[in-house]
Structure 1
Amino acid sequence: MDAALLTVGDELLDGDTENTNATWLARELTERGATVRRVLTVPDDRAVIAEATAEYSDAFDAVVVTGGLGRTPDDVTMEAVAAAFDRPMTENDLARADVERTLAAIAGEYPDLEVDAEKEALLPEGARPLINHAGLSPGCVLENVYVLPGIPSEMKRMFEAVEGEFDGTARFRTLYTEEPEANLVERLDEVQTRFDVKVGCYPDRGAGHNRLKVTGDDAATLEEATAWLAENVTLAQEP
């Protein structure tokens, strides 16, 4: 499964907010066997979001979009995703019911809160709603595009509802070595030549070691490549 991540928000591009969602989602998808091919951050601009969504939907098996949900003026993601598929925005009954339940539950804590439940429950026509158990604004799945909130706690909770749908064949193993990166070049080239795997070398000078990540689609080949590398590289203890 080839996936792309699309994170939305002017605050991300301005550097006001750290883009932890992209890192977290990339890790979660990778651990489930998906291969993340693109990570793109775009502004709160309907046309830009729609263009990127349509392009990535055509190019990859799955697209995860985060940010820009809700009803404030800069929350334009849902409308942009609808535009990417030429779908109108329509009220979703399941989303409306959940929004109303949430508003009723927090009415005592926020007595002056003014929310238009009908507008909050608008989703692209034909989309599968994703209930926001940690917040208010619903997400959705439209074809191969997954739209999640930008607030990390809400995004992570909503991702639980769809995590089983990201089941690819890519697997990886990790080794650590204190050998200098430059000394490893020939052996890293050789293991990729001998076996159908990809090897990345990631120095951590603070910890005094290099992390070697071996990735492949075939489990047996991956184990063989990892074993060969373990025999031909001086290993260090895992941090």
Structure 2
Amino acid sequence: MQAAVVTVGDELLSGDTENTNATWLCRELTERGVSVERVFTIPDDIGDIAQIVNESYAAYDAVLVTGGLGPTHDDVTMEGVAAAFGRDVEKNEEAAAWLTEHGGYAAGDLVDGTTHLPVGSRVLHNEEGVAPGCVVESVYVFPGVPAEMKAMFAEVADEFTGEVQHVELVHAGEPESQLVDRFAELRERFEDVQVGSYPGDHVRVKLSGPDESVVVEAAAWLRERVDPPEETVE
């Protein structure tokens, strides 16, 4: 399964809010074997949301959208997702009933627009907040509040599957530029193993692949051929 993650919010683009949702979703999807192909951060704009959702829906098996749910003036994600599919938004009676029966809200307490969803969508109830999410075709729409997003994702997590990649880390005390030849040889020897290197106070080399034994063998091969960092890394 290939997926795209779309995070919506002017506050993300201005830097007022750290985009932790994208990182969390990518990690969760990767652990389930899903290949995340793109991450988009876009403003609270119906046209931008519709365009990115439409293009991503056509290109990937699943699209996960987070942020911009609710009845306030800048919560336009539902309208944008609906526009991507040429649908209207309307009050969802199932969502409204759930909020009064399980959420502890009286019907009169809900601000108009709270339960407006794209026509024909599947409701995702919000166990940690108010605004519901939804699923339209293979587009999943979650709140932007991290606790609400995580709880809602947990309800549909089993719908995201793929070939799980096994991971081994190798720590090197040499500059990344000096490891290029050994990376090239590793790729030749272990064709199904992907190599990623991340410099910092030392170089972390991430090896991943579908066959755990092959990844372990590749990691052992590389460890024998690199200088370790000065201090042992756990």
Same fold (TM over 0.5): yes
> Displacement of 1:91 after TM fit?
2.9
AA in 2 matched with 1:153 = A
Distance 1:87 1:222 in 2: 46
2-side partners of 1:168 and 1:229: how far apart? 27
Correspondences of 1:65-214 after superposition (within 5 Å) = 65-101=65-101, 104=104, 114-116=109-111, 119-171=113-165, 172-195=167-190, 196-205=192-201, 209-214=202-207
Distance 1:103 1:132, change over 3 A: closer
**What amino acid does structure 1 have at the position aligned with 2:111?**
D
Secondary structure of the residue that 1:147 maps to in structure 2? Answer: strand
How many corresponding residue pairs? 229
Gaps of 5+ in 1: 108-112
Match of 1:229 in 2: 222
Asked if residue 18 in structure 1 is aligned to residue 18 in structure 2, the reply is: yes
Residue 64 of structure 1, CA deviation: 0.7
Q: In 1, distance between residues paired with 2:233 and 2:161? A: 27
The one-letter code matched in structure 1 to 2:196 is G
Q: Deviations over 1:54-87 (max 9, x none)?
A: 1001111111100000000100001111111112
In 1: Cα distance, 2:89 partner to 2:7 partner? 21
Q: Report whether the alignment pairs 1:49 with 2:44.
A: no
The whole-number CA distance in structure 2 between the counterparts of 1:169 and 1:26 is 15
CA distance in 2, matches of 1:158, 1:228: 42
Percent identical pairs in the alignment equals 52
Contact kept, 8 Å, 1:2 with 1:61, in 2: the verdict is yes
Q: 1:175 to 1:97 in 2, by over 3 A?
A: farther
Which amino acid in structure 2 is aligned with residue 225 of structure 1? A
In structure 2, relative to structure 1, the CA distance for the partners of 1:133 and 1:40 (3 Å cut) is same
What is the Cα-based RMSD across aligned positions, in Å? Answer: 2.0
> Cα offset for 1:19?
0.8
How far apart, CA to CA, are the structure 2 residues paired with 1:238 and 1:7? 34
1:95 offset after TM fit, Å? 1.2
- Secondary structure of the 2:155 match is coil
Which amino acid is 2:136 matched to? L
What letter matches 2:174 in structure 1?
E
CA displacement at 1:213 relative to structure 2: 0.9
CA distance in 2, matches of 1:173, 1:7: 29
1:59 aligns with 2:30: no
How far residue 150 of structure 1 moved from its aligned partner, in angstroms, is 0.4
Q: 1:204 to 1:128 in 2, by over 3 A?
A: same
1:170–1:215 Cα contact (<8 Å) kept: no
| Matched residue SS, 2:104 | helix
Structure 1 residues 130 and 115: alpha-carbon distance in aligned structure 2, compared to 1, 3 A threshold: same
Question: 2:54 aligns to what SS in structure 1?
Answer: helix
Question: Structure 2: 5+ residue runs without aligned partners?
Answer: none
TM-score by length of 1: 0.87
- 1:127 and 1:173 map into 2 onto residues whose CA distance is 40
Q: Which residue of 2 aligns with 1:110?
A: none
